[in-house]
Structure 1
Amino acid sequence: MILLIDAGNSRLKWACLQVKKLQPGGAVARSAAPTRDFASAWDALEAPEAVFVTSVAGEKFDKTLANWIKRKWKREPEFLATRAKGFGVTNAYREPERLGADRWLALIGAHDAWDGPVCIVDCGTAVTLDALRGDGSHEGGLIVPGLALMRDSLKERASGIDAISLNPEARTGLLATDTGNAIIAGSLYSLVALIERVVGDLSLEWKEPVQCLVTGGDAEQILPLLSVKAEHCPDLIFTGMAVIARQSGAAQPAARGREKDGHEMEYLSADPGQPAVARLVVSAHG
């Protein structure tokens, strides 16, 4: 089993890759005590063969996570970084490393799973939109505040509404009849309008339909309001991580055989065209 970890600004998410098949994991809210978060998430998990991480949580958090993994499972996690080109995708950024690793992985996942052009919408603390052509060319993207940031900024900066309690679960139509619901509906429709305009403009510019793929923690609030055809892809980043894990050889099952002396050997897969590495497997028989 390979553990895939996505450390975001507010949540810690994970999935597992079992014999090339992506399995759902879980998510916990990040707290001020990250080691408690790690224990809550993974104390009962079997020891993984490898750990791949994407993180926007900062250097201090990443170091704490790496040390916990090494103590818990004696594994060195691989932190995935953005590249100028790889896995069928070409990064549009002039400084490729400035594109967030989570966005890079979502691009890889979308290119692997979908044919044709797509617009990837990640609805998290910030909302990002990335345009990807069918040939894997990333054309660039947009970043705007997410739902919570929009609402919080209004409460902090607009006079007279700082004391209003917001209930994001409240049902609201197009128009609200109180200030709290007006803020909630306004933030939702702001993002909906942006997404629909970008997808429509891309389709016109590229002269072909552009598929909208929506991921992130707030995706389920946005999706029902969209009039453009959209797919919910909650595991898009993990799909991209799985592509990298498979191509690294980490996700390849080991082949077993017997040497002439009768010892059982486990042949660990290597990169295509490279020789396999053999490891002795010792078992006790009663």
Structure 2
Amino acid sequence: MLLAIDAGNTNIVFALIDDCDTIRTRWRITTDPRRTADEYAVWLSQLLALEGFSRSDVSHVVIGTVVPRALHNLQVLARKYFDSEPVIAGVGGWGFSLDVDEPQSLGADRALNMIAAHANHAGDLIIIDFGTATTFDLIDYHGAYKGGIIAPGINLSLDALVSAAAKLPRIAIEAPADPSVVGRNTVDQMHIGIYWGYIGMIEGLVARMKAEAGRPVKVIATGGLAILFEKHTDVFDTIEQDLTIQGLAMWWKKFR
């Protein structure tokens, strides 16, 4: 089976994928570039056993990362504990056109999202990834990347607000219980500003991207926080939580 590793700025996702391209299980751990291959191995071995698997079930490893400092220990993990030379996503190209000014700066997670989205859906697409940053990417019906947007993630926005304003408390990121957008106390006003403000940003940016595309566009959301907004906006056509992992498996099949 294939062990796909998606190393993001906040979390690293490990997914076990069988020969039928089915994700059998997945695990998430906080990203820490100092974490050693030995530490990963102990953690993964226990989780594999809990799911009825072992390290010997892994025959190949593919890594996609936007954290260069984390790569070395993940490579050591693959070589030492899975007896596999890991394939690094993006080495050898992405397999689609990058119609932008700085194609070399495209993050692996965004490229992998586009690979999976284009394989799964026809037509022009906007992919919104709710991660450390919230990214919006536009690909045309040929699968060419036309550009996008990088915005602060909702957790970053809240952290900045609380850090800069001494009297504001830390709050949970959740939909306000009251649909009113006029808060009667500090905590309610913060919930409204963070939650409804973020939805306003999403809807506004998607509307502008659709107008600029000039053709019908399908909107795909991914990332851990996508479901937080699903009930209060109709901007998403679909939510696909495993988009990056799917892209990793597709890229590995093509370029291994």
The corresponding residue for 1:9 is: 9
- CA–CA distance in 1 between the matches of 2:236 and 2:62? 32
* Superimposed CA distance per residue, residues 123-153 of structure 1 (whole angstroms, 9 cap, x where no aligned partner): 0111000011111121101111111100010
The alignment status of 1:65 with 2:68, answered yes or no, reads no
Q: CA deviation at 1:84?
A: 6.4
Flag the structure with higher helix content. Answer: 2
Cα gap change, 1:7 to 1:204, in 2 (>3 Å) = same
- Structure 1 vs Structure 2 CA RMSD: 2.3
What secondary structure does 2:3 align onto?
strand
- CA–CA distance in 2 between the matches of 1:83 and 1:116? 26
The corresponding residue for 1:40 is: 43
Gapped runs of 5+ residues in structure 2? Answer: 49-53
Please say which structure displays the higher CA radius of gyration: 1
Q: CA deviation at 1:245?
A: 2.0
What amino acid is the match of 1:11? N
Paired residues of 2:4 and 2:62 also in contact (CA < 8 A): yes
Q: CA deviation at 1:26?
A: 2.0
1:111 to 115, 118, 122: 118
What amino acid is the match of 1:236? L
The corresponding residue for 1:183 is: 190
* Superimposed CA distance per residue, residues 26-57 of structure 1 (whole angstroms, 9 cap, x where no aligned partner): 23231656243453234434332110011122
What amino acid is the match of 1:16? L
Flag the structure with higher strand content. Answer: 1
The alignment status of 1:215 with 2:247, answered yes or no, reads no
Percentage of identical aligned residues: 26
TM-score, structure 2 normalization: 0.85
The corresponding residue for 1:18 is: 18
Which stretches of structure 1, 4 residues or more, deviate above 4 A after TM superposition? 82-85
What amino acid is the match of 1:231? T
Paired residues of 1:124 and 1:217 also in contact (CA < 8 A): yes
The alignment status of 1:166 with 2:171, answered yes or no, reads yes
TM-score, structure 1 normalization: 0.77
Cα gap change, 1:177 to 1:82, in 2 (>3 Å) = farther
- CA–CA distance in 2 between the matches of 1:177 and 1:38? 50
Gapped runs of 5+ residues in structure 1? Answer: 251-286
Q: How many residues align?
A: 244
What amino acid is the match of 1:34? R
* Superimposed CA distance per residue, residues 208-245 of structure 1 (whole angstroms, 9 cap, x where no aligned partner): 32111110111111222222242111111112112112
Paired residues of 1:92 and 1:137 also in contact (CA < 8 A): yes
What amino acid is the match of 1:72? Y
Cα gap change, 1:42 to 1:183, in 2 (>3 Å) = farther
Task: Kindly report which structure 2 residues correspond to 1:1-286, keeping only aligned pairs within 5 A, or say none.
Answer: 1-30=1-30, 32=32, 34-35=35-36, 36-43=39-46, 44=48, 45-47=54-56, 48-59=58-69, 61-81=70-90, 86=95, 89-161=96-168, 164-169=169-174, 171-172=176-177, 173-175=179-181, 176-248=183-255
What secondary structure does 2:22 align onto?
strand
* Superimposed CA distance per residue, residues 176-210 of structure 1 (whole angstroms, 9 cap, x where no aligned partner): 33323432332222332222223323333333321
Paired residues of 1:170 and 1:181 also in contact (CA < 8 A): no
- CA–CA distance in 1 between the matches of 2:136 and 2:194? 16
Which structure has more relative contact order (CA 8 Å, sep 6+)? It is 2
Cα gap change, 1:143 to 1:101, in 2 (>3 Å) = same
Cα gap change, 1:174 to 1:125, in 2 (>3 Å) = farther
* Superimposed CA distance per residue, residues 143-177 of structure 1 (whole angstroms, 9 cap, x where no aligned partner): 1111110001001112432xx13122574334233
What amino acid is the match of 1:142? I
